[in-house]
Each structure stands twice: as structure tokens, then as C-alpha cells.
Amino acid sequence: MTERGYRPAWAEVDLSAISANAAALAELAPLCAVVKANAYGHGAPEVARAALAGGASWLAVALVEEGVQLRDAGIAAPVLVLAEPTADAMAEAHARDLTPTLYTEPGVKAAAEAATAPWPVHVKIDTGMHRVGASPADVDAVVGAVTSAASLELAGLWTHLAVADEPDQDDYTALQLDRFEAARTRLAAAGVVPPLVHAANSAGALAHPLARYDLIRCGIALYGHRPSPAVTPVVELRPAMALKARVSHVRCLDAGERISYGRRYETRERTVIATVPLGYADGVTRRLFEAGGQLLVGGRRCPIAGVVTMDQLMVDCGPDADVHVGDEVVLIGRQGDDEITAWEVAELLGTISYEVLCAIGPRVPRVYLGR
Ligand SMILES: Cc1ncc(COP(=O)(O)O)c(C=O)c1O
């Protein structure tokens, strides 16, 4: 068995694209590479190293466990945990030198009790995303609890933008930034000036220069995708991941044959049907057939033929196709002159590129290029 396993299906991750995207983004402001959710499916330690090599100065994760994974991989860069760790995770977060985000007084108390030496923490203010964060009315008390705890050090203040990727809602982004500024001004008047201030995700970094502050927290742009089709990337971004497989079976079917569970795809003429060893258990959602999903086969776009099954899907290669077992096919990425982007798949499915990338499951081996 090879490192990839026996099944000819894999996700190719080009680490030189990650480094190049990091370098381009770091031109805008110091970069925090968001590598939560296994780096949006790309592989967290590998992406973290490539992003740091490209010029990122921080990493961000959603969970303490994700930060621990980076430390176990020998990565020593600053790691921000984007949500307040639960009380029982604080000691480990402290021991592994992760920077927690805090936004409740019980959270501050738990962090202060866990810290055995001064622990730099960031405080998050909810300026309008309404997911997590101290409300503008509570943030002074949370910050006060941090500054009065001998074992804690206020190292950062940040917020998160809800619609930075939607230009028609720019007035709401401006309102969030106004609320953030008001809190900063109030804290400064009380003598509290956090050394690191940050607000921008990829869309904030690309489309809202005022949101860049001291650090931009980029995920999707690091992976080479725009945050939404409405955002013009102001730097060059190269998609880092491709999803590929080799044809596992080929047959010619007559007109009128029906394919896969439910028999929902009917051949219109005698045609070549290829089987591809990827399915919904790998993150290729079952709905992709009905949504009009295609694959690149022999440099041509071919429709998925019938519902995607758990481990395999079928593709209609057309009557004259010269397709053989072992031929490489592309679900996301380039082949010949054509490319199927994660955004193209996302738009067919009524979702976003983030979800398409994160869905590529752990059963699909990641193959790293450009190490
Ligand atoms: C708090 C926070 N900051 C930054 C990001 C990165 O967002 P994006 O991938 O749009 O750059 C995320 C991701 O969802 C996030 O939750």
C-alpha cells in the first residue's frame, strides 16, 4: 500500500500556493493564517508551516485541540484560539502557550485561575455578528477583569465582521467598525491600549482597508479563493487544493439505460460511463448530481450520471470518449485548459466555497506538492 492507500482518489494541496497567497496577503497587513477545521480541509500543520514560510506571523484555530495539534507538530508561532476555551480547557491552553480569546467574566476568571505565569490573552467584542463576544456594554467590565488579574495580560482586542463580503451591506460593516472604534476610544480614555487590534477576515482584508488594523485574520484567501464572488481580490490568489481520482471502471451503455440508485439518470444515446471512486462519504455531496455537477475527464466537462453514492459516482463521458481505467479525473481543480473551482461547485449547491472545501473528508488522502 502506498502513503495514499490503495484507492486512487486524493486531494492535492499545493503548499507553494499557500506560501504565495500568504506572502501576497501579508503585503496588506501582518497576517494571521486561519487554520481551523484542519486548515479548511487542507491539513493544518502543513498549511501552517507553509503560511509561516510565506510571511504569516500568527495562526488562528477554533479549538484548543487544534492549537495542541499545531504544538505537537513542533510549530512554535503564536496561536490565537478564536473562541473562549471552556474552563476545563484553560490549563492545557496555557500550558501549550495558546492565546485564548476571552469575552465573559467567568471565562476571564477561569483563565486567571489556570495561568501559572502572566498569560497574554485577547478580548473579543461583538460589534454586530452576534455569534460570540462581549457586547459593547459589557466589554469594559471584561477588559477590567483581565487587567486586574495578576496572571493575565491584555495582549489584543478584536472583533469579527458579519458582511464584509457583501458590498451591498458595506454600511453595516462601517457600523461594526464604528462600534469597535468607540470601544477602543473608551478603553484608551481609561488608559487601556491593547497592543494588537484586529477585525478583518479575508473579505475585510481585501475589501475594507480600514478594517486591517494590526493583523488580518485570513482563511479562505490563504487557500486561494475569494470570500465571495462579489469581492474583487486585490492581490493574486492561487487555489491550493484540487480533488482528483482515477477512473475505476468503464462501460458502454445503450440509450435508455438508467444509472445509480433511484435510476434518475437516463442515457440519451449509446455512451461511455466511467465510475470514479469518490462519494458522499468523502464530501462529494449526493445532491451534486441533481445540481448539475460535472467532472473534467480527458480535458472535457462531463456530467455526473445518477446520484452520487457513498463511495463512488458515475460520469457520462459521451459516445466517442476514449476513457480507460486509470485515467485521471478532476472534481475540483484544473485539467487541460479548463478548471472547476470550489466556488463553481458551491454555487451549484447553493453554498459557499468554504463548505465545499471543509467537506472533503478524512478518508481522502492529502498529497502535498511544493513542500
Ligand atoms: C473569527 C474569525 N476570524 C477570521 C476567520 C477567517 O475567515 P475567512 O476564511 O473568511 O478569511 C474566521 C472564519 O470563519 C473566523 O471565524
Predicted confidence (pLDDT) per residue in 51-65, tens digit? 999 999 999 999 999
Q: Which of 40, 261, 265, 354 is catalytic?
A: 261
Strands (E), 57-210: 58-61, 79-81, 99-102, 119-124, 152-158, 196-200
Sequence-separated contacts (24+) of 338-343 with Cβ below 8 Å: 338/296, 338/299, 338/300, 338/301, 340/294, 340/295, 340/296, 340/301, 341/225, 341/239, 342/225, 342/239, 342/241, 343/225, 343/226, 343/229
The atom of ligand 1 lying closest to the CA of 32 is: 4
Residues with CB under 6 Å of ligand 1 are 34, 82, 160, 201-203, 217-221, 227
State what percent of residues in the chain have pLDDT above 70: 99
Each residue's pLDDT tens digit, 110-138: 999 999 999 999 999 999 999 999 999 99
pLDDT at residue number 4: 81
Distance 160 CA to ligand 1 centre (A): 8
pLDDT at residue number 366: 97
Pocket-testing residue among 129, 160, 213, 237, ligand 1, by greatest number of atoms within 8 A of Cβ: 160
pLDDT at residue number 7: 95
pLDDT at residue number 73: 98
Give the Cβ contact number of residue 4 at 10 Å. Answer: 13
pLDDT at residue number 19: 98
**What is the mean pLDDT of the segment spanning 178-185?**
98
Distance 311 CA to ligand 1 centre (A): 31
**What is the mean pLDDT of the segment spanning 16-43?**
98
State what percent of residues in the chain have pLDDT above 90: 98
Which residue type is seen at 329? V
pLDDT at residue number 145: 98
Give the Cβ contact number of residue 223 at 10 Å. Answer: 29
Sequence-separated contacts (24+) of 317-324 with Cβ below 8 Å: 317/271, 317/272, 317/273, 317/274, 318/271, 318/272, 319/269, 319/270, 319/271, 319/272, 320/272, 321/271, 321/272, 321/274, 321/297, 322/298, 323/247, 323/250, 323/272, 323/274, 323/297, 323/298, 324/247, 324/250
Give the Cβ contact number of residue 352 at 10 Å. Answer: 19
pLDDT at residue number 355: 98
**What is the mean pLDDT of the segment spanning 282-296?**
98
Would residue 36 show up in a list of annotated catalytic residues for this protein? yes
**What is the mean pLDDT of the segment spanning 332-342?**
97
**What is the mean pLDDT of the segment spanning 12-39?**
98
pLDDT at residue number 1: 64
**What is the mean pLDDT of the segment spanning 339-361?**
98
Mean pLDDT of the chain: 97
State the pairing for strand pair 79-81/265-266. Answer: unpaired
Which residue type is seen at 257? E
**What is the mean pLDDT of the segment spanning 186-196?**
97
Would residue 261 show up in a list of annotated catalytic residues for this protein? yes
